[in-house]
Chain A
Amino acid sequence: MILKNTSVKHKTNDDDNLIPLINIVFLMLIFFMVAGQIQPSDGVKVESPTSVSDTKLTPERLKVVIAEGGQIFIDGAQVRQETLGNRVSAYMQTLTAEQKENAAVVIKADGNLTVDSMQDYVKTIKTSGITHISLMTQSSEQASL
């Protein structure tokens, strides 16, 4: 009796058990697809400073990542300090005249980097002709309070 019972249950249920599971997995999938943003990697781990700033990121921008040790990364590849100016100029070359006016560099620097070492990079970027320079920050829980 018992043996018969279980075998019958198996046959009738089969995949039906899985439908609620799939429902939930689909919901999670949709959540992560809609709410998450996929970003290219920086090439290095950077802990950006947290801030209450609510200025939106400039849409047209070159992201310069500066790690805690002062290494520079652009598009995930390391750039030597001497060639940083060239890279920024090269970026400017790719823009049209209209875009050049709004061209911006966003610096994603580690919060533990010293301000004076960042100043050198800012100077280098400025001499290559970009005037809109900003510092990338992340909003923290503490900041949102």
Chain B
Amino acid sequence: MQLETLPQRRRKMISLTPLIDVVFILLLFFMLSSNFTRWHQINLQSATSSESQTPELRILKIESNQGELSFNGNRLSMNNADSIQKFVAENKQATIVITVVEGIKIQVMVNLLDQLKRAGATRVSLAGLAP
């Protein structure tokens, strides 16, 4: 009797198919529900009041969704990286305030922020957007 039962136990293994079923379902769940986007944020609040001096303001206005900008009546283009660079270099100490005309898309405004950041601008304010 013993001799017979022992080898039988060894042979008997749990079938792997149900295990694979479950693992596949888990895999599908995690594949479909997981999200790989890396989220960041841009702060909209106005500049902190800790700065004792009121800095000079340079009001840069977005004129169109094609990237036309105006500053003191001068025309600039967002597509022209050099002109942005020059503008930022000339106004290193000042705070650049971004304003928009009606109908400008958020993506265009964010692109401008990116460009100013790339050009080295450190003080950019969106205060005009969040009064």
Task: Please give the residue numbers on chain A whose beta carbons come within 8 Å of chain B beta carbons, in ascending order.
Answer: 15, 18-19, 21-22, 25-26, 28-29, 32-33, 35-39, 48-58, 106-107, 109-116, 118-119, 122-123, 126, 131-139, 143
Contacts and interface: CB of A to CB of B under 8 A. Distances in A.
Interface of B: 13, 15-17, 19-20, 23-24, 26-27, 30-31, 33-45, 100, 102-107, 109-110, 113-114, 117-118, 129-131
B40 A112 contact: no
Pairs A-B, 3 closest by C-beta atoms: A36-B34, A111-B107, A32-B30
Main secondary structure of the interface of B (DSSP, over half): mixed
Contact of B33 (A38, A110, A126, A131): A38
A132 B39 contact: no
B109 A137 contact: no
A29 B23 contact: yes
Contacts of B23: 22, 25-26, 29
A21 B30 CA distance: 18
A115 B105 contact: yes
B41 A114 contact: no
Contact of A126 (B26, B117, B130): B130
